[in-house]
Amino acid sequence: MDGKLFLVPTPIGNLEDMTFRAIRILKECDLILAEDTRTSAPMLKHFGIDKRVFSHHQHNEHKATSEIIKFLNEGQKIALISDAGTPAISDPGFFLVREAIKNDIAVECLPGATAFVPALVNSGLPADAFCFEGFLPVKKGRQTKFKKLAEEDRTIILYESPHRLLKTLEEFAQYLGADRQASVSRELTKMFEETVRGTLTEIKSHFENNTLKGEFVICIAGKPNVKSKNKYEDAEE
């Protein structure tokens, strides 16, 4: 039998977002690779999934990949999950997928939960064209990235942590303009889900006076230009 690598999205908060297919694949595979076994254990138990689970995270993925490729070449079916959402989207997975492809091993990614899609659709900003930046550089290359994004005319999407949110919003206001329209979503699919829309300044002011907790998705309108304006006017006509 040929081995196969499955990339299986898991809920970003609400367990009801798990798909029937994802549960079946996890039950049928030979082993599961999890970003953090402690985080994944309650979710796997909830769905009655009792399989061997090994850690596969950014600190060991290069070292562990050769052994995983060996298992796949022996015909095993292996599923990769992250702590939440779709593997390889700002999470480990890319390196393993690339190596599997290099070794002619079948790779199948299931559709499912990921944070930036609902945040984008819920933002009210144009979703026909966008760029996803993941997490911005913390130090090296950060200023260069802001200057580049200042020229981006597509909707910009990125992830941010609570302790850097205010700084990031302030920097975007500096480089893109304080009145640039944006949307910030936090705790998506969870009990305290919140989406705040407005200018970068208005959103920053909101979070300066409210709880900074959870995972944040920032969506920012692209740089206005005549071409994009005409495109939407033509569509309306």
Asked if 116 and 218 count as a contact pair (C-beta separation under 8 A), the reply is: no
Q: What pTM does this model have?
A: 0.89
What CA–CA distance (Å, rounded) separates 166 from 210? 11
Angle between helices 200-208 and 165-176 (to 10 degrees): 160
CATH of segment(s) 115-220: 3.30.950.10
What's the Cα-to-Cα distance from 190 to each of 2, 36, 44, 167, 193, rounded to whole Å?
39, 20, 18, 25, 5
At 230 the pLDDT is 47
Residues of the chain with confidence (pLDDT) below 50? 228, 230-233, 235, 237
What CA–CA distance (Å, rounded) separates 166 from 128? 28
Q: Which two tokens stand for residue 235?
A: 């569509």
What CA–CA distance (Å, rounded) separates 12 from 126? 23
Q: Which pLDDT tens digit goes with each residue over 53-75?
A: 999 988 888 889 999 999 999 99
At 232 the pLDDT is 47
Distance of CA 180 to the CA centre of its chain: 23
* Domain ranges across the chain: 4-109, 115-220
Say yes or no: domain 4-109 is CATH 3.40.1010.10. Answer: yes
What's the Cα-to-Cα distance from 132 to each of 77, 175, 219, rounded to whole Å?
30, 18, 9
The H or E element containing residue 107 is strand 106-109
Torsion of CA 189, 192, 193, 194, to 10 degrees: 180
Task: Answer whether 4-109 and 115-220 agree in fold.
Answer: no
Asked if 187 and 193 count as a contact pair (C-beta separation under 8 A), the reply is: yes
What CA–CA distance (Å, rounded) separates 175 from 11? 34
End-to-end CA distance of the chain: 56
